[in-house]
Amino acid sequence: MPDPILRILAFDFGLRRIGIATGDTLTGTAAPRPAAATRAGEPDWEAIGREMRAFNPGRAVVGAPYNADGTAGALLPQARRFASEIKRRFALPVSLVDERFSSLEANEALKAGRARGERGRLRRTDIDSAAAAIILERWLSGEPGEELP
């Protein structure tokens, strides 16, 4: 019997915004969704809850911020807390995936799209959610992640 199709929501955690993307194991691709704001360091749980209800994922993936040399980034403890809260609030398995260079990669991809004639202004929220899509595509391609206990 084939594996069931798994829908996944991914998050690029930040202190100002949290990029969001959705994808699935059938297509192996990810697509950005509108980013959620943070206020006074607290994620907009209402916006995140709306995305959860809209997509009914079976798993969440959260970007783990590491430095270029592989050491823990300054935001790693907050990203871990966010991932733990996703698991607690929504009763989902959560994977932490290395997000190194995902924002840079997302920025370059969006700039290239604009150069090809795609319309619209490049906004930070677009970059954050495109970075979440890259993080999810890494997980879908088999990049090892850390499972939260």
pLDDT digit string, tens, across residues 41-60: 799 999 999 999 999 999 99
The residue among 109 and 144 whose pLDDT is bigger is 144
**Cα separation values, 99 from 12, 13, 38, 87, Å:** 8, 10, 19, 19
H/E stretch holding 132 reads helix 124-140
Residue 112 has pLDDT above 60, yes or no: no
Q: What strand order describes the sheet that includes 42-43?
A: 42-43, 30-39, 17-24, 7-12, 59-64, 94-98, 146-147
Question: Is residue 71 exposed (0-12), middle (13-18) or buried (19+ Cβ within 10 Å)?
Answer: exposed
The residue among 148 and 79 whose pLDDT is bigger is 79
Q: Which pLDDT score is estimated for 128?
A: 83
Residue 116 has pLDDT above 60, yes or no: no
3-state SS, residue 13: coil
**Cα separation values, 116 from 4, 43, 111, 128, Å:** 37, 34, 9, 21
Q: Which pLDDT score is estimated for 123?
A: 58
CATH 3.30.420.140 fits 7-147, yes or no: yes
What number is the average pLDDT over the span 125-141?
Answer: 86
Spatial separation of the C-alpha atoms in residues 120 and 117, rounded to whole Å: 9
What number is the average pLDDT over the span 88-115?
Answer: 74
